[in-house]
Structure formats: C-alpha cells, structure tokens
C-alpha cells in the first residue's frame, strides 16, 4: 500500500489540476453534439424547402455535419491541454494540397451547389448561357446538360454557369412577341395597321392586357416598317411567332399590300471599239 501512495497522490494532484478542465471539455463536447444535431435538422428542412436534389442534399448535409464535428473535437482537445498547433498545420497543408489538385473540380462542385440551391433555372427551362442555347435536361453536381432544338447534347461546367450571365426564357409565365413588317411607301399605313390588329384579335393566344402595340417604327430606305408588340404565354411563343408571320404575309398579299424587298437595277453599256 505504501508503494501505491505516491501514485494515488499524483493521481489526486492531476485530478485537482486537470479535473475541472476535463469536466468542462466533456460538457462542451456533449453540448456541441447537441447543437450540431439541432443545426442538422434545421439545415435539412432548409434544403428540403429549397427543393434541393436529394443526392446533393444528403451530401451537403453530411459534409456540414462532419466539418462541424471535427471543429468541435479539435476545440475540446485544445481545452484539455493537447497541443493542436502541429495537427492543425498538417491538416491545413493537406487541405491546401487537395484543393489545388482539385481546383477546377471543386469550383464546378461549388457552382452546382449554388445552382441547385438558388435555382436560376430548373430542368425543362430554355436558357442561353456560355454561348449555347437549349433546354435544361439535367443539373448534375459538376455539369449541366442542355438539349438543343436540333437534338444536340451540350455539357456545360457548373462553375462558369453559376458565375456568368445567362438568359432564362422560361422563367416568366408570359413573354412579348416582337414583329417588324415592312410595307411600300405607296401603301395605306392605316389599312395595314388595321389588318395587323384584326389578326391579333382573331387569335386568342394573344393577350389583350397589356394591349398589343402597333406603331410605325421606321421609315426605311425602301419600306415603311411597322412594329407589332403583343404578349403571349411563354409556352405559345414560337408557335404564335411563326403562325402570325405567315398569316400577315398571306393577308397582305390578299389585300394588295406590298412587302418590299431589296432590288437593284443593273445597266449594261456596250462599248464600241474602233
């Protein structure tokens, strides 16, 4: 027993010296895991509310949870007196090396997360971005897949797609159709405008609120250009655009209104040789 007394005394001294720190570290550890659990539940609800893809939702939630737990454990180990400077430096160096090696991939991943959370476009939208136009078929973690009207597949990395400008033609329910029709200088402008208005009123796909706009936009070199602006549903845009253009041509032909086209007079001179 006498041999154990120095050991017990040393143990009691360590408990007195480090006991409160261990208890505090244990309390911080338990409280930290409890707070992380609450954060995970709220973060999961946030991702579900934003309608983030299930696969990405699970990955992001797991990544956030692991990161927070690692930071908590490092903090607790520091509270009990364990030197963490070298470990943190080593962990930082490893993270830097991995980040540099996967720089482009990580940027595309971050871009994919931004797109899936902020939703500047969704599957089925027709967009123009990075010099390409097409319907969004799939939003992946690293790339976005577009399908062009002529059935080509375009793969665009998410990083430039998330940080660059893009046009989403499907974002709004309604879209304005703009037309320009040229008539001859000798034709009746009022008659042409009346015919254009009648064709719009006969097609229920054109909205009357806001009312269509039919005005003379330009006195061109060989024609009086009439501008027509009318609103339609986005889903009807191209059908209306093509059909109305054809109807205007046929109606103008029937009513004797000319649609001028560029003409050139060529004069031939015969040179006599002596």
What is the set of domains in the chain, with CATH numbers? 10-101 (1.10.287.1260), 119-168 (2.30.30.60), 174-255 (3.30.70.100)
3-state DSSP: the chain helix, strand, coil percent, rounded to 5? Answer: 55, 20, 30
Q: Tokens for 10, please give them.
A: 């040393």
Rg (CA), the chain: 35
- The residue behind tokens 């143990």 is 11
Q: Own/partner pairs for 18-21, CB < 8 Å, 24+ apart?
A: 18/80, 18/81, 21/79, 21/80, 21/81
- The residue behind tokens 């973060």 is 43
Q: Tokens for 264, please give them.
A: 């050139």
Each of the 274 residues of the chain gets a pLDDT tens digit; together they read 555 556 555 655 655 555 566 767 777 778 888 888 888 888 888 877 776 666 566 667 777 787 788 777 777 776 666 666 666 666 666 666 655 555 557 788 788 878 877 888 888 899 998 889 999 988 887 888 999 989 999 999 988 888 888 999 988 999 999 999 999 988 999 999 999 999 999 999 999 989 999 999 989 888 899 999 999 999 999 999 999 999 999 999 999 998 887 666 666 777 666 5
Q: Provide the CA 130 distance to its chain's centre, in angstroms.
A: 12
Q: How far, in Å, CA of 225 to CA of 86, rounded?
A: 76
């Amino acid at each position: 027993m006498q041999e154990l007394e120095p050991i017990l005394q040393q143990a009691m001294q360590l408990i007195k010296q480090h006991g409160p720190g261990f208890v505090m570290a244990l309390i911080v550890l338990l409280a930290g895991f409890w707070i992380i659990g609450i954060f995970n539940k709220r973060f999961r609800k946030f991702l579900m509310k934003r309608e983030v893809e299930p696969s990405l939702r699970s990955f992001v939630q797991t990544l956030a949870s692991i990161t927070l737990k690692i930071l908590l454990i490092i903090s607790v180990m520091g509270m009990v007196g364990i030197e963490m400077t070298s470990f943190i430096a080593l962990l930082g160096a490893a993270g830097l090396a991995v980040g540099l090696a996967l720089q482009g991939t990580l940027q595309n991943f971050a871009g994919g997360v931004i797109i899936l959370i902020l939703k500047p476009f969704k599957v089925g939208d027709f967009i123009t971005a990075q010099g390409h136009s097409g319907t969004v078929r799939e939003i992946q973690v690293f790339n976005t897949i577009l399908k062009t009207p002529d059935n080509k597949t375009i793969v665009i990395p998410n990083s430039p797609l998330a940080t660059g400008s893009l046009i989403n033609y499907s974002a709004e329910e309604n879209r304005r159709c703009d037309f320009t029709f040229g008539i001859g200088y000798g034709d009746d402008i009022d008659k042409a405008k009346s015919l254009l208005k009648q064709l719009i009123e006969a097609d229920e796909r054109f909205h009357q609120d806001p009312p269509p706009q039919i005005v003379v936009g330009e006195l061109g070199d060989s024609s009086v250009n009439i501008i027509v602006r009318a609103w339609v549903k986005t889903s009807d845009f191209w059908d209306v655009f093509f059909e109305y253009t054809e109807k205007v041509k046929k109606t103008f032909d029937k009513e004797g209104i000319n649609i001028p086209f560029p003409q050139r007079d060529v004069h031939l001179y015969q040179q006599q040789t002596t």
